[in-house]
Structure 1
Amino acid sequence: MTVLDDELRREARPSTADIEALIAGRHRDPFGLLGPHRLQQGWVLRTFQPDAANIEVVDRDGAVLAVATKLHPAGLFEASLDRAPGSYRWRVHWPLGPLDIEDPYRFPPILGDLDVHLWREGRHHRPWDKFGAHAIELDGVTGVAFVVWAPNARRVSVVGDFNQWDGRRHPMRLRHDAGAWELFVPGVAPGAHYKFELLDANGALLPQKADPFAFRAELRPRTASIVDDPAPVAWNDDAWMKSRAERHATGAPISIYEVHLGSWRRHWDGNRWYSYRDLADTLVPYVKDLGFTHVEFMPVNEFPFDGSWGYQPTGLYAPTSRYGTPQDFQYLIDAFHQAGIGVIVDYVAAHFPNDPHGLGDFDGTHLYEHADPRQGFHPDWNSLIYNLERPEVSNFLTGAAIYWGERFHIDGLRFDAVASMLYLDYSRKAGEWVPNKFGGRENLGSIEFLRKLNELWYERFPGAMTAAEESTAWPNVSRPTYVGGLGFGWKWNMGWMHDTLKYVEREPVYRAWHQNEITFSLVYAFSENFILPLSHDEVVHGKGSLLTKMPGDAWQKFANLRAYYAFMWTHPGKKLLFMGCEIAQAREWNHDSELDWGLLDQPGHEGVQRLVRDLNALYRATPSLHRFDTEPHGFEWVEASDNQNSVIAFLRKGDEGDAPSLTICNFTPSVRHHYRVGVPGPGRWREALNSDSHFYGGSNVHNGDGVEAEPIGSQGRAWSIALTLPPLATLILVPAV
């Protein structure tokens, strides 16, 4: 070696300050020190291996290429080569023996230029392909590529069970143009547990963070992310996917069973959850037997606190570990699809929790959330609000939605708490909110986000749907963005739920003065594409169950509930019923225990379940009950003003050639004989369903084998029928064939 060569090698050595920063885990550019570095003459290779006795450089056949010298007693080693090292390895001599390992700092960058460009603009439609943890093969070596967005951090390391959770061992490369940190760690395999260790801009150590893009997570109360198995799962739902668009049309029958997976059923031994695969064997046939067309899961993304029911998620890309793996979740969706049942999941973009391992203060700054608490803190839920005006944050959320559609074949997203996203002053007093740039209360960032996400969703999944839980009079929620709408396919009709429940909760003697509560929804029924929800929100927080809301003695409570359900199933709009309501559960829902299935041994509860099954069957088999759910020409009032008798009657109509259906509700406990109802013309009408039938636990007042229309005028029609109206009951009549 010449004197010049020796001087060049000395000059290439890092400064004492750089070495100390690396050893202390404070160095911002580990690739500037570690891995291979070309000199004017030869190469130098460095690695940091705490507790190693000595280290050699070996080739792929195990031959020693060089012996490394220790630059620092903490474990920084350096080796010199006269030629390019190629695909070398480090042979590390540990106290328990030698081990050949790959050098993470010899591999190229993970993010491509296009990835960076699209991410910064908020237009990366598949960000999960790069961000997060991916088990891949790079340069013939298997391992995991880690990428995390943390632009304001001084240093980011991946830590896990593969490196003793030591942040000094795997510091990551900063891609300045993306604000992202990345590292390929050879030898790590699916099943490995990991987090990210970050220093803020001032060098302060932050709480270890779970991966925002993690596909799997540990079971609470543990919070590590888990490297997922990338092996594809075989789907058997081609028939469903091809028919999905037809099943989701506005004129299709859509009846949704809302489920909290952790409390539908539980194993009797230890009150254990059913797994995703258990649910495929039990929940799927149950929903099919009851005749629901869809199931809707309360949030199944990862969340830390059982009592939030999933509405404060920390892992938007990870099905919760409570019930199994992502592959198990796919198995459940596939089972539903093979049974001809669609799957909708709750999607929470309105807020997120402030758990230390989550997104809050992620890199020492308000990265995902607004910095100003008037914009970034939710007073109702003690949670944080996404800063949707940041392209990367918006991209993170839109990517999560598309991910569920692509990987899990999800048929629909139900957006929670949309009203809180649309209004800057939602649940805030004067002075507690910040107006938009025009001085208004509309949240422009959220509006743009929702429109963009809906456009992407319907572009990528033409046969799927989205629905908004939106409780205000915001216009055009379920209208396309090109006509100024928010782009949702459906909107929950919260007004219908509020008004009609208020009506049926009243003692029948008082209902005569509140007829408008049961009829008002038809004033606006066709202003949106509506879903009629009787959801979990109506049976929690001291509200009691639907059965206990009903007035009167036990018989009247059941009769009221049956009449209300039959009214709901014939009212314009798609249907949604929360689990347990179909068996008339008497107690308020409790997420920590299963439904009271023993109630089905009692005739009243079994009768309500039978009614729901029959309502679903009639709804699906009768085009007039669903064909024009969203169009006014499919509905016609027959009687809306008979408040003295608390009776309403209306017609539902389908296409030409479809028989109409006639619904009559008697919301009093009195039997009404010879009650005349106008009909379109001559003919015989029969009862297709009577909620007072003894099959459902009623008193069995009925109209025999049907009634013949007579040329007697009533309610502005030339023809009418004279009916016996059962007490607290709904009749559904169709023309007799």
Structure 2
Amino acid sequence: MADTSLHPDAVAALVEGRHGDPFAVLGPRDGRVRVLLPGARGVEVVTRKGAAPLSQAHPAGLFEGPLAETPYLLRIDWGGTTQEVEDVYAFPPLLGELDLHLLGEGTHQDIGRCLGAHPCVVEGVRGVRFALWAPNARRVSVVGDFNGWDGRRNPMRLRHEAGVWEIFIPRLGPGAIYKFELLDPNGSLLPLKADPCAWQAEVPPATGSIVVDTAAIRPPKPRARPPGMENQPFSVYEVHAGSWMRGPDNSTLSWEELGDKLIPYVTGMGFTHVEFLPVMAHPFGGSWGYQPLGQFAPHAPFGPPEHFQRLVARCHEAGLGVILDWVPAHFPTDTHGLARFDGTALYEHADPREGFHHDWNTLIFNLGRREVRNFLMGSAVHWLETYGADALRVDAVASMLYRDYSRPHDQWIPNIHGGRENLESISFLQELSRVIAERCPGKLLIAEESTAFPGVTRKADEGGLGFDFKWNMGWMHDTLHYMERDPIYRQYQHGGMTFGMVYAFTEKFMLPLSHDEVVHGKGSLIGKMPGDDWQKFANLRAYLSFMWTHPGKKLLFMGGEFAQWREWNHDRSLDWHLLDQAPHAGLQRMLRDLNRLYREMPALHALDCDPAGFRWVVLDDNANSVFAFLRFGPEGTPPALVVSNMTPVTRQGYRIGLPSGGAWREVFNSDAGIYGGSNNGNGGMVHAVAEPAHGFDASVGLELPGLSTLVLVPAEG
């Protein structure tokens, strides 16, 4: 009979938790069974023929003995309690050859349902299948309450083809908290790691991963969307879920409570979409989600993943689109996260000149590595498919595109051609756009990109990056710089309001007034406006009206719609009590009316990305700080004349050329009394006469209230 005893070195490796191939020595083989159960007093093998004790082969918990038949159970005496369970090491390999092949070549588009923890049934037994990419680890174990957090109990099987470790743990189910214990290539024990592909994480500061019934979270039915969003009204309300509104005790709202309050508010305000700052699990709330570690898990303090999925569904039921901020550029250095995950620079670059962001003290994803690209690609698809989000707004794209981003001249490495462009990131973003277009048709990608990089919204097959829209950061900075000036000096900054039209149609733009403009000492939007309180509100009304009528889709961060005085604080609710005061309520009402006008009037949205939709009428009146332009819609729809007076001086009889004579209706006036204004204007109607002006045969003399924006349309329209 063959000798089945283990070599002493193998025994030592097992009991010391150093053995890299436990399935080769544990479990059933050659009519015997061997188990490692540290802390067990005794073990019996239970079959249909009865129970038989195993002999202790090592005092650290190694037991072995004859196996009469299969299947079998292990009856374990833990010293006061007895457990009957299947032997982990009796189960076969789990991942199929196709999964391993796709993982190996970095093209597995369902990585979130392949790697991670997934309840399933194997050979009639319910349990959880774990899989983890860690190709350089010497040993990987699943640890949790279910095994006393002892890495010797459940070391995993390495599937060498893909560098993936796997194991099936019977009788485990949803709700179990777990982590991974790894030995690095030198055999040193690493800090316990959270699961990069977990669908749920513990509430910080706890750092464990939680098993979720992933099969029960089925992708929702795709939402019908109008084609060509560049021709549709697109008005976005940007929200930080933890501080939009809080409970009476300053507690954060759950996903369900947020849905109860946020959805009717946003739809009532007339926005078409809500955009959430990153909802992906993150260890530090002060990062607002922009330093995530859970690329597949909604942030735990708000509730379980199925509740977030329901929030998205409720938004859709109310006709509201959902955009999620998503961060594929970098990740935090927390030891339980992705940093040196298997003891090597696995997800990040090894060289800090490529792999470390000094601005944010974060690590940069190595997008030249196919498995890392696959991980992020899978995350993007996960949020769009599993949760039904309508778009991803990709954060910090500029930092991805340039190797010298925010680096001294001697602290970056050129690309293979000697240039500063990050070719790997460019390729990743192009591939991402192709995958989303094929896998998730109708879903959008929006870039937060602050440079003049060409072709951000050009199709990837045409040499662009493939985004659907790009945040126009230049417009935001230029116009805010203008509005912050005292009106007496605005004549010298006139180009701040007009320069955006020089490049307005080089990309498909979204005009953002985002969270970045109301933090870090920048104050609030209303706080940026000059003058006394009345002038501050008038300035902000005129500015937001200029923005809503300007070419480009719209985005406004929460609180801006009612002029919150205080700078945004992520640990506090917005100051909703301000709506008891008339100026704040008036501004909110104006935003509601602007959204309605924007949606209902094709001239204000249908040709946002087409130069045929815009014409300057008054471009160079810097002495009076007056701007006027026409917006056009599809043929057969009426144009709109927009006039802004950015001084507190009322202009009487200000003559403006018009494309047609006759009656024109004043359909919007930011100085209206119901908005908190002085109620000056043109009485709702004006009549153009045959007096040439600004290249037109007809013109009209308008009263332009101080610090106001007006919108007029032909009366017959």
Scaled by the length of structure 2, the TM-score of the pair is 0.99
Residue 686 of structure 2 corresponds to which residue in structure 1? Answer: 707
- Residue number in structure 1 paired with 2:430: 451
Q: Tell me the equivalent position of 1:325.
A: 304
Q: Distance in 2 between matches of 1:256 and 1:521?
A: 20
Instruction: Give yes or no for the alignment of 1:52 onto 2:36.
Output: no
Letter in 2 for 1:80: P
Q: Is the 8 A contact 1:158 1:172 kept in 2?
A: yes
1:575 aligns with 2:554: yes
Report matched runs for 1:31-180 at 5 Å. 31-38=23-30, 43-59=31-47, 61=48, 63-64=49-50, 66-81=52-67, 85-180=69-164
SS at match of 2:554: strand
Cα deviation, 1:171-201, whole Å, max 9, x if unaligned, reads 0111111111110000111000000001111
- What SS does structure 2 have at the residue aligned with 1:466? strand
Paired with 1:689 and 1:581, the residues of 2 have a C-alpha distance of: 20
Note the C-alpha offset of 1:233. 4.9
Which residue is 2:512 aligned to? 533
Aligned residue type for 1:15: H
| Cα offset, 1:482, TM superposition | 1.1
Cα distance change, pair 97–534 in 1 and its aligned pair in 2 (3 A): closer
Letter paired with 2:553: K
Residue 705 (structure 1) shift:
3.1
Gapped regions of structure 2 (runs ≥ 5):
none
CA distance in 2, matches of 1:494, 1:654: 25
- 1:243 matched to 2:235? The reply is no
How far residue 93 of structure 1 moved from its aligned partner, in angstroms, is 2.3
Determine the C-alpha separation between the residues in 2 that align with 1:178 and 1:700.
70
Is 1:477–1:485's contact at 8 Å kept on the other side of the alignment?
A: yes
Give, as a single letter, the amino acid of the residue that structure 1 aligns with 2:164: A
CA distance in 1, matches of 2:29, 2:430: 48
Aligned partners of 2:28 and 2:67 also within 8 Å? no
Query: Is 1:15 aligned with 2:7?
Result: yes
Amino acid at match of 2:591: V
Q: Could you tell me how far apart the structure 2 residues matched to 1:402 and 1:334 are?
A: 17
Q: Letter of the aligned partner of 1:47 in structure 2?
A: V
Whether 1:630 and 2:614 are equivalent positions in the alignment is no
Equivalent residue number for residue 21 of structure 2: 29
**AA at the equivalent of 2:225:** R
Which secondary structure does the structure 2 equivalent of 1:273 belong to? coil
2: distance between equivalents of 1:473 and 1:97? 67
Specify the code of the residue in structure 2 equivalent to 1:453. Answer: L
Q: What SS is found at the alignment partner of 2:331? A: coil
Per-residue Cα deviation, 1:129-185 (whole angstroms, up to 9, x for no partner): 210000111100011101111111111100001111010100011111111111000
SS state at 2:638 partner: coil
Distance 1:234 1:50, change over 3 A: closer
Task: Output aligned runs, 1:560-571, within 5 Å.
Answer: 560-571=539-550
- Deviation for aligned residue 1:65: 5.3
Match of 1:590 in 2: 569
Could you tell me how far 1:51 is from its partner in structure 2? 2.5
Q: Partner residue of 2:600?
A: 621
**Alignment identity in percent?**
57
Q: CA deviation at 1:683?
A: 2.2
Contact 1:455 1:481 in 2 (8 A): yes
Q: Figure out how many residues of one structure are paired with residues of the other and give that number.
A: 716
Equivalent pair of 1:245/1:462 in contact (CA under 8 Å):
no
- Cα deviation for residue 86 of structure 1 reads 2.5
Aligned-partner residue type, residue 605 of structure 1: H
Shift of 1:376: 0.3
d(CA) in 1 for partners of 2:536 and 2:329? 37
1:639-678 matched pairs, under 5 angstroms: 639-678=618-657
User: Any conservation in 2 of the 1:678–1:715 contact (CA below 8 Å)?
Assistant: yes
* Post-superposition offset of 1:97: 3.9
Superposed CA deviations along residues 518-565 of structure 1, whole A, max 9, x for unmatched, are 000000001001000000000000000010100111111000000000
Letter in 2 for 1:207: P
| Alignment map for 1:184-263 (pairs within 5 Å) | 184-233=168-217, 241-246=222-227, 249-263=229-243
Equivalent AA in structure 2 for residue 534 of structure 1: L
SS at match of 2:477: helix
The corresponding residue for 2:287 is 308
Q: What secondary structure does 1:588 align onto?
A: coil
Task: Please give the per-residue CA displacement for 1:52-84, whole angstroms capped at 9, x wherever unaligned.
Answer: 22222112x5x42543111111111112135xx
Q: Which residue of 2 aligns with 1:462?
A: 441
Per-residue deviation at 1:229?
2.0
Query: How far, CA to CA, are the matches of 1:394 and 1:518 in structure 2?
Result: 40
Conserved? CA contact 2:201–2:208, under 8 Å: yes
Alignment of 1:336-351 (within 5 A): 336-351=315-330
- What residue in structure 2 maps to residue 731 of structure 1? 710
SS at 1:266's partner residue? coil
TM-score normalised by the chain length of structure 1? 0.96
Corresponding residue number in structure 2 for 1:284: 263
Tell whether 2:459 aligns with 1:484: no
How far apart, CA to CA, are the structure 2 residues paired with 1:679 and 1:607? 30
Structure 1 window deviating more from structure 2 (284-293 vs 44-53): it is 44-53
Q: Please tell me the residue identity of whatever aligns with 1:139.
A: E
Structure 1 CA distance, aligned partners of 2:217 and 2:87? 32
Supply the distance in 2 between the matched residues of 1:98 and 1:550 (Cα, whole angstroms). Answer: 71
In the alignment, what sits opposite 2:454?
475
Q: What SS does structure 1 have at the residue aligned with 2:197?
A: coil
Contact 1:402 1:457 in 2 (8 A): yes
In the alignment, which of 366, 375, 381 is matched to residue 396 of structure 1?
375
Q: CA deviation at 1:460?
A: 1.5
Write the deviation string for residues 271-321 of structure 1: whole angstroms up to 9, x where unpaired: 100000001100000000000000000000000111100000010000000
Asked if the contact 1:245/1:464 (under 8 Å) is kept, the reply is no
Letter in 2 for 1:390: R
496, 506, 527: which is aligned to 2:485? 506
Tell me by how many angstroms 1:99 deviates. 2.2
CA–CA distance in structure 2, aligned partners of residues 339 and 211 of structure 1: 34
* More displaced 10-residue stretch of structure 1: 675-684 or 560-569: 675-684
Question: Residues 572 and 629 of structure 1 are in contact (CA less than 8 Å); yes or no, is this contact kept in structure 2?
Answer: yes
| 8 A contact 2:218–2:386 mirrored in 1 | no
CA RMSD of aligned residues (A): 1.1
Q: Once the 2 structures are TM-superposed, how far is the Cα of residue 243 of structure 1 from its aligned partner? A: 2.8
The answer on whether the counterparts of 2:200 and 2:211 sit within 8 Å (CA) in structure 1 is: yes
The one-letter code matched in structure 2 to 1:343 is V
Note the residue ranges of structure 1 that are not aligned, 5 or more in a row. none
Question: Which position in structure 2 is the counterpart of 1:547?
Answer: 526
Distance 1:65 1:245, change over 3 A: farther
